[in-house]
Structure 1
């Protein structure tokens, strides 16, 4: 019988689509992020220019959103289903947060392929308290 405040709880779930380029690919990732999370995503911008990749400073290159409460729990059920409930010790950081990389969004349940969007991978970080 442990004290309820000693049990880990989900504070938030961060979903990140790091596309690496702006333009149509980023817009498709934004649309997909909205569909998966039922929220409007924010834009992530490049911190510095990378000439080799053709990225300029402050150029939008990613979209992300933060889920809390019931939305977070519902999304986590789908995310764990996609990774087949397999989590390695390497997925945890020093603060006890859990990160999952999902290679294709099509591995989530009830998701159909849309040729307008294509196939995207994304990262999910579960912040525990």
Structure 2
């Protein structure tokens, strides 16, 4: 098990049970999955870009991404049905905890002028989303080898029913929210 998973089981879960007054330990919110999404609008002009980004996202997440394709044609964007428009990865269990630990403790401190993530990015159902506009902040990416800098969106899905519960869960896991 990872450091963060052990910390959740041994420290965070009992503390949340006490803080919210749950009767049963199974009521305590937990992480369900983390999805990482990359939009690639430029993939239609440069087919090699898709292969490069697939490799980079696989290195960042530790899992092979799935190519997302356009569901319908949009003439104004020069997109035909079935064209690749992005990548996505869904992380669960061990990879999820490893990715979150790396995101919080290694990647976010590397972001220039970082002062914390917004506490307003919850969706009302206990899920949290954040965007990173430069993928080179991840330690697996060598800046010298990068041709095109792209961003990625990260969604952390929890079993929390309210944003307050999810905020407390992520705070105790070390998510650096703005004060």
TM-score band, normalised by the shorter chain? 0.7 to 0.9
State the partner residue of 2:79: 55
Pick aligned residue for 1:104 from 134, 139, 143: 134
Alignment partner of 1:119 is 2:149: yes
Correspondence for 1:24 among 40, 48, 56? 48
Aligned pair count reads 129
Equivalents in 2 of 1:117, 1:45: separation in Å? 23
Structure 1 residue ranges (4+ consecutive) displaced by more than 3 angstroms after TM superposition: 81-85
Per residue, is there more strand in 1 or in 2? 1
CA distance in 1, matches of 2:94, 2:77: 38
Q: Please tell me whether residue 72 in structure 1 is matched to residue 96 in structure 2.
A: yes
Asked if 2 retains the 8 angstrom alpha-carbon contact of 1:26 and 1:61, the reply is no
Q: CA RMSD of the aligned region, Å?
A: 2.1
* 2:34 aligned with 1:13: yes
* Unaligned segments of structure 1, at least 5 residues: none
Deviation string, structure 1 residues 75-127 (Cα, Å, up to 9, x no partner): 11232343458232321102110111011111224532143553221111111
Q: Is the 8 A contact 1:91 1:99 kept in 2?
A: yes
TM-score (normalised: structure 1)? 0.85
Which protein is richer in helix relative to its size?
2
Gaps of 5+ in 2: 1-17, 110-114, 160-179
Which shows bigger deviation, 31-40 or 75-84? 75-84
